[in-house]
Amino acid sequence: MDLTFTAEEEAFRDEVRAFFAAELPKDIRDKLDLGRHISKDDMVRWQKIMYRKGWGAPNWPAKFGGTGWNIVQQHIFEEERAEACAPNQNPFALKMLAPVMQNFGSAAQQEYFLPRILSGEDWWCQGYSEPGSGSDLASLRTSAVRQGDHYIVNGQKTWNTMGQYADWIFALVRTSTEGRQQQGISFLLVDMKSPGVSVRPIVMLDGGHEINDIFFDNVKVPVENLIGEENKGWTYAKFLLSHERSGNAGIGACKRALKKLKEIAAAQPANGKPLIEDSRFRDRIAQVEMELMALEITNLRVLSGYAKDQKAQSLGPEVSMLKIKGSEIIQTLAELKMHALGHDALPYVREALDMNWRGNPLLNAHYGSYAPPLSGQYFNNRKTTIYAGSTEIQKNIISQMILGL
């Protein structure tokens, strides 16, 4: 496999880099560069900028309004996006729901929902996990009982990301209790403004409100909001998860985190020498850098193979390898940054994630320019080996579908 970019691909990189330099709002860039929180308004504003450029959906085919970029172009775009500190576009809509809708949805669903996703008009969230149904997703109990031209939905979803902002949720629901658990699941689109839908925040260890419990109490959902066929939702869910797991490799974000780690380790402390001069710590940096390079090559190989196989509807079990290693590298980089900062990484002030925060002058020297959000990032990154299928589940998939064990 030739990993050298062509002249055309390098020209495309220059175009993407120039666009970010000219169009990315400075206030959004600064928030991400400093590790601060960005709001829904920030993300919607950025989506609209991308949409005006014609880049509203970098991973969509052109026939649905996407860029039609090939795998290498998408890879370059994600690298430059991370380097420029540009926000990640809503993955639940663009990278999870949209491929399902494009492959299994009705023409009416595609014509109505996809343009609204592109323009940033609708914000989507995901309704998969439930209390007691996380890794064992097929045991979900949220029910959808058909009554005439509606389903009546009752149940609860948990660990729902950004549902407090959402206009719509795509949810797995149980429409049958006969046969195997997987055979009675359907894929349903629910308007979050429907009577009976309620959102309860879950405050995480880092103090942030990123996830929620979502409750459905006799929620009426039109039958036309069903994706594909009733009781075929497990097939669509697996298709979605393969796309989600491929994106969780996070190559661009890891490269930026590695760059930041080297900057921290090279900084001259008040007493002593920079940590980068410590051979053992330098070895740890070299190790994670080599693992990241191997992950990038593997990611390109998997995506390139999928792009060439026009008959494949979904990515194969190889994405489980990407998900495992990507999440482990993310955690390792966070741990090494904490190690590099030493005592400066220990304090955590929740308010420091807001751009207008001004700390106690007595603490400023202690915190430095990296520390305020870093411990929160470390806590937050502990989830990466759990979401989108835990590491244990991914290893089972690899052993069964690749190794044949």
Domain membership of residue 212 (yes or no) is yes
Q: Per-residue confidence of the chain (405 residues) as pLDDT tens digits?
A: 556 788 999 999 999 999 999 999 999 998 888 777 788 999 999 999 999 999 999 989 999 999 999 888 888 998 899 889 999 899 899 989 999 999 999 999 999 999 999 999 999 999 999 998 876 788 899 999 999 999 999 999 999 999 999 999 999 999 999 888 888 999 999 999 999 999 999 987 767 788 999 999 999 999 999 999 999 999 998 888 765 555 556 788 888 889 888 888 887 665 678 888 889 999 999 999 999 998 888 877 776 665 555 444 455 667 777 888 888 898 999 889 888 877 666 655 666 556 566 555 444 444 444 445 677 777 777 777 777 667 777 777 777 777 776
Range of the domain at 84: 7-89
pLDDT at 246: 55
Closest Cα partner for 200 from 214, 218, 210?
A: 214
Domain membership of residue 242 (yes or no) is no
Same domain? For 257 and 155 the reply is no
Same domain? For 167 and 216 the reply is yes
Same domain? For 293 and 352 the reply is yes
**CATH number, position 371:** 1.20.140.10
Pairing assessment for the beta strands 124-127 and 185-191 based on DSSP bridges: unpaired
Residue 358 makes CB contacts below 8 A (sequence gap 6+) with none
Asked whether 47 and 40 are in contact (CB, 8 A), the reply is: no
pLDDT at 352: 59
Same domain? For 224 and 262 the reply is no
Closest Cα partner for 128 from 238, 217, 218, 206?
A: 238
CA 274-275-276 angle, to 5 degrees, is 90
pLDDT at 364: 46
Q: What is the DSSP string of 219-237?
A: EEEEGGGEESSTT-HHHHH
In angstroms, the CA 153 to CA 142 distance is 7
- Report if pTM > 0.85: no
Same domain? For 252 and 372 the reply is yes
Same domain? For 252 and 141 the reply is no
Asked whether 354 and 38 are in contact (CB, 8 A), the reply is: no
**CATH number, position 171:** 2.40.110.10
pLDDT at 310: 45
Same domain? For 260 and 320 the reply is yes
Same domain? For 225 and 276 the reply is no
> In Å, how far are 75, 92, 94, 303, 389 from 122, measured between CA atoms?
26, 11, 11, 28, 26
Strand partners, 151: 146, 221
pLDDT at 219: 98
Same domain? For 261 and 196 the reply is no
Same domain? For 49 and 83 the reply is yes
Asked whether 94 and 57 are in contact (CB, 8 A), the reply is: yes
Closest Cα partner for 125 from 189, 208, 46, 220?
A: 189
Buried-exposed string 29-53: b where 16+ CB fall within 10 A, e elsewhere: bebbeebbebeeebbbbbbebbbee
pLDDT at 361: 46
pLDDT at 218: 98
Domain membership of residue 266 (yes or no) is yes
Domain membership of residue 110 (yes or no) is no
Asked whether 329 and 254 are in contact (CB, 8 A), the reply is: yes
Pairing assessment for the beta strands 209-222 and 150-161 based on DSSP bridges: antiparallel
pLDDT at 366: 42
pLDDT at 323: 81
Closest Cα partner for 167 from 238, 99, 116?
A: 116
Half-sphere exposure of 245 (CA within 13 A, CB side): 28
In angstroms, the CA 325 to CA 331 distance is 10
Domain boundary among 231, 260, 276: 231
Length of the chain, in residues? 405
Residue 273 makes CB contacts below 8 A (sequence gap 6+) with none
Asked whether 331 and 255 are in contact (CB, 8 A), the reply is: no
Show the tokens assigned to 180. Answer: 């195997």
Show the tokens assigned to 346. Answer: 């220990």
Same domain? For 222 and 355 the reply is no
Residue 148 makes CB contacts below 8 A (sequence gap 6+) with none
Domain count, the chain: 3
Domain membership of residue 378 (yes or no) is yes
Domain membership of residue 349 (yes or no) is yes
Domain membership of residue 135 (yes or no) is yes
Domain boundary among 231, 266, 300: 231
In the chain, the amino acid numbered 58 is: P
Domain membership of residue 95 (yes or no) is no
Q: In the chain, what's the furthest Cα-to-Cα distance?
A: 75
In angstroms, the CA 368 to CA 31 distance is 16
pLDDT at 15: 97
pLDDT at 276: 87
Domain boundary among 165, 196, 231: 231
Same domain? For 146 and 177 the reply is yes
